[in-house]
Amino acid sequence: MVCAEDLRTFEQIAEECPAFPVNRLRYLYENRQTNGTAAANVFVKLGRLRMVNKTQLNAWVAQKQENE
**Closest CA relative to residue 37, chosen from 51, 17, 18:** 51
- Provide the pLDDT confidence category of residue 36 given band limits of 50, 70 and 90: very high
Q: Give the span between the Cα atoms of 30 and 34, in whole angstroms.
A: 9
What is the average pLDDT across 1-14? 94
Q: Determine if residue 16 is left, alpha or beta; phi over 0 gives left, psi from -120 to 50 gives alpha, anything else beta.
A: alpha
Whole-number pLDDT of residue 44: 96
Whole-number pLDDT of residue 13: 97
- Provide the pLDDT confidence category of residue 67 given band limits of 50, 70 and 90: confident
Q: Give the span between the Cα atoms of 52 and 39, in whole angstroms.
A: 14
Whole-number pLDDT of residue 5: 93
